[in-house]
Amino acid sequence: MSFYFENDVSTLLLKQLLAGASASLGVIRLQRMGTMNSVYLKIRRWLSVLWAASPPLAFAGLIMVCDLGACLVAMAFDSRQITGINAWIKPAKFGLSSAITCWTLAWIARYLGDRPRIRNWSARVFAVSIAIEIIVIDLQAARGTTSHFNMAGSINRAAFITMGISIAALWFSMVSMTYALMRQHIQPASWAWALRLGLLLSVVGAAGGGFMLRQTPEQKQNPNLQQFGAHTVGAPDGGPGIPLLNWSENHGDLRVAHFLGLHAVQIIPLLAWWLLRKQRLTEVQRTRLIWLASGAYILVFTLLAWQALRGQALMQPNRETLFMASILVLLAGTGCWAVLSLPPYSALKKWVATLEVHS
């Protein structure tokens, strides 16, 4: 009798444990579904805001995300290599970078309400131009050859020239957006200058890609022009590269400075967003820090370009490069200390006047 009773109790306890476990799993599933729904709603709301600000740029960003996914799938099934890496790595990187840039510019377009014609024209030109560039890069990858600097044959030459025209067009569209931002009244001041200087630095960074169009000594000596320009200094394009980014491990690589310059339009506003969360800072201090950060940013961009043009790999700087980098860090640190520690100009004038009275 006791045996059957204990058996029933054990069975009952086991059922309760299983019921509790299934209930816990159900709660976890509901929580995950709630989290996924929340993320989905946030993404949808965010895309709606971007679409309302600039439909061409928002749509171009979506296309770039789809392109990134297609390149990742192609990477899994296509093992061909171009300049030492999988043929679809470069298109995937360009797709990701272009999606981020398109959505960033769409977000900036929200602030250009006073100049809708410049905003709309610039957005259309940029969206079309970036789409043309990505299409050419994808087609060249599908053909198993390089897209940039390739002048071997009429098809490759036409592809490279088409890319050059589209890049020039999107650069001019960024210039026009920068002009509109400079004339637009935006508050607070630190946020306004972060948008302006971030986009301006991206324009400079994009123009820095022109260094890659310099012919190497080998190209100048070759009567049959097969390649016009290169991103590697001191060696042919390709060879060992830093994981993921694929920047040259042993030679100068102009893509480092180009990458940093292009994405200033994301980095400087992110810094401003972080500074706005620091309540102890005054708006004057935030604005000065944005100017200081932008000045340091352009100096870092210049230093990286100078390092690459002398044939030095990013991770192999010589004494001159390290000396200039240390001076840059010293200047930036001193500037931050001055902004955060010294009294504002008005307070400084009052302090000087007080000294004059007591003396």
Q: Are residues 205 and 347 in the same domain?
A: yes
Q: Are residues 169 and 264 in the same domain?
A: no
Please list the rounded mean pLDDT of every run of 10 residues in the chain (359 residues): 50 56 58 66 81 91 95 92 89 94 94 89 95 95 90 90 94 95 90 95 93 82 80 85 85 93 95 91 90 95 94 92 95 91 60 46
Q: Give me Rg for the CA atoms of the chain.
A: 27
Q: Which residue has the tokens 């000087």?
A: 352
Rounded to whole angstroms, the Cα distance separating 246 from 269 reads: 27
Q: Are residues 209 and 331 in the same domain?
A: yes
> For residue 47, is it within any domain?
no
Rounded to whole angstroms, the Cα distance separating 117 from 320 reads: 48
Q: Are residues 240 and 305 in the same domain?
A: yes
Please give the pLDDT value at position 34.
60
Residue 188: partners with Cβ closer than 8 Å, 6 or more residues away? 276, 283, 286
Q: Are residues 333 and 354 in the same domain?
A: yes
Q: Are residues 273 and 357 in the same domain?
A: yes
Query: How many domains does the chain divide into?
Result: 2
State how beta strands 85-86 and 81-82 pair: antiparallel
Q: Are residues 144 and 234 in the same domain?
A: no
Q: Are residues 192 and 287 in the same domain?
A: yes
Strand partners, 19: none
Please give the pLDDT value at position 42.
78
Among 104, 139, 174, the domain boundary falls at 174
* Angle at which helices 283-309 and 319-341 cross, to 10°: 180
Q: Are residues 247 and 317 in the same domain?
A: yes
> For residue 127, is it within any domain?
yes
Q: Are residues 193 and 321 in the same domain?
A: yes
User: Exposed (0-12), middle (13-18) or buried (19+): which is 197, by Cβ within 10 Å?
Assistant: buried
Please give the pLDDT value at position 254.
93
Among 124, 145, 174, the domain boundary falls at 174
Please give the pLDDT value at position 7.
52
Q: Which residue has the tokens 């799993």?
A: 25
Reading the block at residue 190, the tokens are 């630190």
Reading the block at residue 121, the tokens are 């024209």
Q: Are residues 234 and 114 in the same domain?
A: no
Please give the pLDDT value at position 229.
84
> For residue 281, is it within any domain?
yes
Q: Are residues 278 and 323 in the same domain?
A: yes
> For residue 42, is it within any domain?
no
> For residue 197, is it within any domain?
yes
Closest-CA residue to 109 (of 92, 94, 126)? 126
Contact 111, 196 (CB under 8 A): no
On whether the pTM is more than 0.95, the answer is no
List the domain range (segments joined by +) for residue 103.
53-174
Closest-CA residue to 65 (of 106, 107, 104, 94)? 94
- H-run or E-run covering 253: strand 252-253
> For residue 310, is it within any domain?
yes
> For residue 233, is it within any domain?
yes
Among 174, 198, 227, the domain boundary falls at 174
> For residue 246, is it within any domain?
yes
Please give the pLDDT value at position 192.
93
Reading the block at residue 67, the tokens are 């392109």
